[in-house]
Every structure is written in structure tokens, then in C-alpha cells.
């Protein structure tokens, strides 16, 4: 059990709901100071994206942030350097894609991430059937490989994901890519309820958590939320204060559930 899983279990077992904001590494302003300020705003964990040119899970907002970061010359090592400099006292997970992990080799990627203080890896295009190698390399370094559970999966697949994931299970709230929705999809509850019998890991809902009200609704049945596009939209607007105020409002809202 790595730091990410240990911490999120403590949050859950203490009767609280977890708030995990996402930011795109390499985007202007996503620096060590911002990560520290997200902790002050109430983050229980932070997800930092390592940008990729073909972010198949991400909608327009995160795609645009990734484009800007890549055009600025961002390399995975730059993102890891910011995480290391921030040295925050909550777990940091990186979210990226399999080609980024395979580039230097999974073992090298894991070693570099662990050395930077990363405690979780989220690789959306790495299915449970192909995760064993990365998990075997990551676990001895204290890295939890977080798997995603999507709507419409077969019961056996939910069982496999629950058994193989570490840290938490990322419960995808809706069909499609990341991005704001007008309301929380009913499939969010369906995914959580389908995974719950197969694991005692914390279950966090992400994708389409656009407002504090959505987060409160999700936390009625899940153990916490991941908020990405709503946060990154403030980055695109160059509204750092607004970003932190929004993060604080999510934290406050789920603290009342």
C-alpha cells in the first residue's frame, strides 16, 4: 500500500470525502507555488497531467492546455521537476498516456516519478489486462497504479479492475471525454455501485464534475471526486485567484456532505 492509498483511506475512514484537483503540467502558471496553494485550498491529493499530443480521454479544455504546454516545449521531466520542487504534504498522482510511459521504458519512468515524489500513476489507455507489468515495476517504488472503471463495462471487468487497482479506483462518471456537463450523469452511481463489491479501495468519481453541486451529489455515493476541466478552464483564462477560489469551494462543499 503506497502513500496515495494510505492517505485516501485515512480520509475516508475519518469520515471525510476526498477532493483531488487536476492541473496540466507545463501550462504557464502550473508551478510549485500553485501546487502548494491547491493544498491550502483543501486538496487531499493532486493530479498533475503530463501532456501528450494525443490525449484520447481529454476533452477540449484539457486538450488546449496540453497543446499550450507542448508548444512551450514541456518534457515529462519538467513536470516531475515541478512536483519535486513543490514537495507538498499530500499525495501527487501523475496522469499521462502509455506512450509517455513507454518512451523511456516503464522502469525508468517509474523510477523518475518516484524520485520526484510522485505516489500515483494514472494511465487511462492502459487497460487492466495490460497493467500487470507497470504495477510490478511501480509497487516496489511506492507508486500506486490507479485503474479506471468506465460505464457499461461487464461485471467481470469491474471485478478485475477492483482487484488490480491501487491507491483508489477512478470511477468515470459518464461516457465520453473529460469536460464540464450540465448535470452529474446517472452512470456515475452505476459505476461506483458496480465496483464497490469488488474492492475496499476508496472510489473517486471523475469526468464531468463541473460544479460544487455535482461534487456533493457524487459524494453521496462515492468516497470523493476528481475535478479537472473546471479547474483547467481557469488556467486557460489566466485566472489563478479564481482557480484557487473554485478549488476551495469544492473542498468546502464536500466537507458538508
Q: List active site positions.
A: 47, 58
Angle in degrees, 0-180, between the axes of helices 32-40 and 76-86, rounded to the nearest 10: 50
Residue with cell 507508486: 143
Residue with cell string 457524487? 218
Rounded Cα gap, residues 123 and 148, in angstroms: 8
Which contacts (CB < 8 Å, 24+ apart) does range 98-107 have? 98/123, 98/125, 98/126, 99/52, 99/54, 100/50, 100/52, 100/76, 101/126, 101/134, 103/76, 104/76, 106/133, 106/134, 106/137, 107/137
Cell of 76: 515529462
- What is the spatial distance between Cα 131 and Cα 165, in angstroms, rounded to a whole number? 9
- Please answer whether residues 195 and 169 qualify as being in contact, where contact means their C-beta atoms are separated by less than 8 angstroms: yes
**Residue 28 CB contacts under 8 Å (≥ 6 apart), including other chains:** 68, 72
Q: In sequence order, which residues have a C-beta less than 8 Å from that of residue 47 and are 6 or more positions away?
A: 20, 21, 22, 23, 92, 93, 94, 95, 122, 226, 228
Amino acid at each position: 500500500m503506497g502513500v496515495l492509498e494510505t492517505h485516501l483511506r485515512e480520509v475516508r475512514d475519518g469520515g471525510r470525502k476526498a477532493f483531488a484537483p487536476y492541473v496540466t503540467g507545463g501550462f504557464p502558471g502550473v508551478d510549485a507555488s500553485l501546487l502548494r496553494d491547491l493544498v491550502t485550498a483543501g486538496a487531499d491529493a493532486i493530479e498533475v497531467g503530463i501532456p501528450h499530443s494525443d490525449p484520447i480521454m481529454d476533452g477540449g479544455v484539457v486538450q488546449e492546455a496540453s497543446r499550450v504546454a507542448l508548444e512551450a516545449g514541456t518534457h515529462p521531466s519538467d513536470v516531475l521537476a515541478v512536483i519535486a520542487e513543490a514537495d507538498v504534504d499530500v499525495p501527487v498522482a501523475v496522469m499521462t498516456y502509455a506512450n509517455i510511459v513507454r518512451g523511456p521504458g516503464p522502469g525508468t519512468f517509474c523510477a523518475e516519478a518516484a524520485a520526484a515524489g510522485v505516489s500515483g500513476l494514472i494511465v487511462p489507455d492502459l487497460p487492466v489486462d495490460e497493467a500487470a507489468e507497470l504495477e510490478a515495476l511501480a509497487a516496489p517504488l511506492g507508486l500506486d497504479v490507479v485503474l479506471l472503471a468506465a460505464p457499461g463495462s461487464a461485471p467481470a471487468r469491474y471485478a478485475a479492475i477492483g482487484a488490480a487497482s491501487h491507491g483508489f479506483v477512478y470511477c468515470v462518471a459518464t461516457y465520453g471525454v473529460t469536460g464540464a456537463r450540465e448535470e452529474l450523469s446517472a452512470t456515475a452511481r452505476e459505476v461506483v455501485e458496480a465496483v464497490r463489491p469488488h474492492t475496499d479501495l476508496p472510489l473517486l468519481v471523475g469526468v464531468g464534475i463541473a460544479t460544487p453541486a455535482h461534487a456533493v451529489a457524487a459524494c453521496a455515493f462515492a468516497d470523493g471526486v476528481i475535478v479537472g476541466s473546471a479547474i483547467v478552464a481557469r488556467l486557460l483564462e489566466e485566472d489563478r485567484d479564481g482557480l484557487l477560489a473554485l478549488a476551495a469551494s469544492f473542498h468546502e462543499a464536500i466537507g458538508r456532505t
